[in-house]
Chain A
Amino acid sequence: MKTPTATEVKDLNERIHLKSVRNVRRGQEVEEGIDIYRPGVKVCLERTRLLTESYKMTEGQSPMMRQARALERILLNMSLYIRDWEQIVGNYASNPDAVFWPIEQNWKSVHRLLHGEGKSLLDDEGRAELDEIVEYWDGKTVSDRRKKAFAGCPDLEKYWKYEGTMLWSQWSDQGVPNYEKVISIGLNGIIREAEGKLQEIRRTIPSDYNCQKEFLEAVTISLKATIEWARRYAEKARELAKSDKDQERKKQLEEIAEICEWVPANPVRTLHEALQSFIFTHIVRDQIEFITLGCGIRFDMVMNPFYKKDLKEGRITREKALELVKQTRLHLEELGQMYSPTLTQVYGGVQVLQSLVIGGVDSEGRDITNEMSYLILDSVLEMKTLQPSIALRVHDGTPKDLFVKAIDVIRTGVGYPSLQNDKALIPLLLKWGCPLEDARNYTISGCVYLDIQGKNILRRNSTYFSLPRCLWWALRQGIDPKTGEQYGAPTPDPTTFTSIEDVMDAYLEQVRFFMEKQVQVENVTRSVYAEYYPRPFASALTDGCIERGQDLRSWAYSGRVESFAIAVGPTNVADSLAAVKKFVFDEKKSPMAELIKIIDRNWEGREDLRQMMLSAPKFGNDDDYVDMIANEVHCRTEQVIEKFSDFCGSGFHLDGSAVSATYGLSLDTPATPDGRKDGEAFADGSLSPMPAADVSGPTAVLKSCSKVDTLQSYNYLLNQKFLPGFLEGENKEIFYNYLKSWADLGISHIQFNVVDKETLLDAQNHPEKHGGLVVRVAGYSAYFVDLSRGLQDHIIARTEQGFA
Chain B
Amino acid sequence: MSARGFERLNDEGLVFNIQKFSIHDGPGIRTTVFMKGCSLQCKWCSNPESIKPYPEIMAFDIRCIGCGKCMQTCPVGAISFSEKGREIDWAKCTLCLECAWVCPAKAIECIGTYVTVDDVLKKVEEDSIFYQNSGGGMTVSGGEALLQWEFIRELFKRCRDRGIHTALDTTGNAPWRKIEKVLEHVDLVLYDCKHMDTRKHREGTGVGNELILKNAEKVALRVRTWLRIPLIPDYNDSEWNIRELAEFASRINVEKVSILPYNELGGSKYPKLGQAYRMEETAAPDVESLQKAKETIESRGLKAEIGR
Contact = CB atoms under 8 A, between A and B. Distances in A.
Interface string A679-708: 000000000000000001111100100000
Contacts of A738: 29, 130, 133-134
A741 B129 contact: yes
Contacts of B135: 737
B24 interface: yes
B29 A699 contact: yes
Given A700-B126, A703-B126, A804-B19, A744 B133 contact: yes
Interface in A581-628: 607-609, 611-612, 615, 622
B127 A734 contact: no
A547 B128 CA distance: 53
Given A608-B69, A737-B28, A699 B21 contact: yes
Contacts of A734: 23, 28-29, 134
A698 B21 contact: yes
B23 A611 contact: no
A739 to B, nearest CB: 9
Contacts of B19: 697, 804
Contact of A803 (B24, B32, B67, B134): B24
Interface string A7-48: 000000000000000000000000000000000000000000
Given A699-B130, A703-B127, A607 B20 contact: no
Contact of B20 (A608, A612, A696, A741): A696
A745 interface: yes
Nearest to A700: B20
A740 interface: yes
B134 A608 contact: no
Interface residues of B, number: 24
A404 to B, nearest CB: 15
A247 interface: no
Contacts of B21: 697-700, 801, 804
Nearest to B25: A804
Contacts of A615: 104, 106
Nearest to B135: A737
A272 B99 CA distance: 71
B65 A697 contact: no
Contacts of B126: 622, 700, 703
B43 interface: no
Interface string B10-54: 000000000111111100110010000000000000000000000
A542 to B, nearest CB: 41
A705 to B, nearest CB: 13
Contacts of B25: 804
Interface string B135-169: 10000000000000000000000000000000000
Interface in A752-804: 801, 803-804
A695 to B, nearest CB: 10
B222 to A, nearest CB: 27
A680 B89 CA distance: 37
A499 interface: no
A731 interface: yes
B32 to A, nearest CB: 7
B119 to A, nearest CB: 14
A740 B28 CA distance: 13
A734 B19 CA distance: 16
Contacts of B65: 607-608, 611
Contacts of A744: 129, 133
A737 B133 CA distance: 5
A609 B308 CA distance: 39
A115 B212 CA distance: 79
A804 B134 contact: no
A741 B23 CA distance: 15
Nearest to B19: A804
B3 interface: no
B105 interface: yes
Contacts of A804: 19-25, 32
A675 to B, nearest CB: 11
A376 B258 CA distance: 39
Contacts of B22: 804
Contacts of A703: 126-127
A690 B106 CA distance: 18
Nearest to A622: B126
Interface in B258-307: none
Interface string A732-751: 01100110110011000000
Interface in B90-108: 104-106
A698 B67 CA distance: 33
Nearest to B31: A699
B106 to A, nearest CB: 7
B160 to A, nearest CB: 21
Contacts of A741: 29, 129-130, 133-134
Contacts of B134: 733-734, 737-738, 741
Task: Name, among A612, A700, A734, the residue most crowded by chain B CB atoms within 10 Å (CB to CB).
Answer: A734
A173 B19 CA distance: 46
A648 B201 CA distance: 80
Contacts of B130: 699, 737-738, 741
Task: Name, among A611, A622, A700, the residue most crowded by chain B CB atoms within 10 Å (CB to CB).
Answer: A611
A690 to B, nearest CB: 16
A803 to B, nearest CB: 7
Nearest to B305: A730
A612 B23 contact: no
A607 B28 contact: no
Nearest to A606: B67
Contact of A611 (B24, B104, B133, B308): B104
A614 B186 CA distance: 39
Task: Name, among A622, A737, A801, the residue most crowded by chain B CB atoms within 10 Å (CB to CB).
Answer: A737
A703 B122 CA distance: 14
Contacts of A622: 126
Contacts of A609: 104
Contacts of B32: 804
A804 B126 CA distance: 17
B104 A608 contact: yes
A367 to B, nearest CB: 19
A726 to B, nearest CB: 8
Nearest to A612: B104
A803 B30 CA distance: 12
Contacts of A699: 20-21, 29, 127, 130
A612 B67 CA distance: 12
Task: Name, among B21, B24, B67, B106, the residue most crowded by chain A CB atoms within 10 Å (CB to CB).
Answer: B21
A608 B105 contact: yes
A698 B127 CA distance: 11
A726 B24 CA distance: 12
A740 B127 contact: no
Contacts of B29: 699, 734, 737-738, 741
Interface string A541-576: 000000000000000000000000000000000000
Contact of A697 (B20, B24, B104): B20
Nearest to B105: A611
Contacts of A737: 28-29, 130, 133-135
Contacts of B24: 803-804
A804 B104 CA distance: 27
B229 to A, nearest CB: 19
B104 A745 contact: no
B286 to A, nearest CB: 19
A462 B134 CA distance: 42
A268 B262 CA distance: 62
Interface in A438-470: none
Interface in B105-132: 105-106, 126-127, 129-130
Interface pairs A-B: 4 shortest CB-CB: A737-B134, A697-B21, A611-B104, A804-B22
19 contacts: A608-B69, A608-B104, A611-B65, A611-B104, A611-B105, A612-B104, A696-B20, A697-B21, A699-B21, A703-B127, A734-B28, A734-B29, A738-B134, A741-B29, A741-B130, A741-B134, A744-B129, A804-B19, A804-B24
Given A741-B29, A741-B130, A804-B24, 4 more contacts: A699-B29, A738-B29, A741-B134, A804-B21
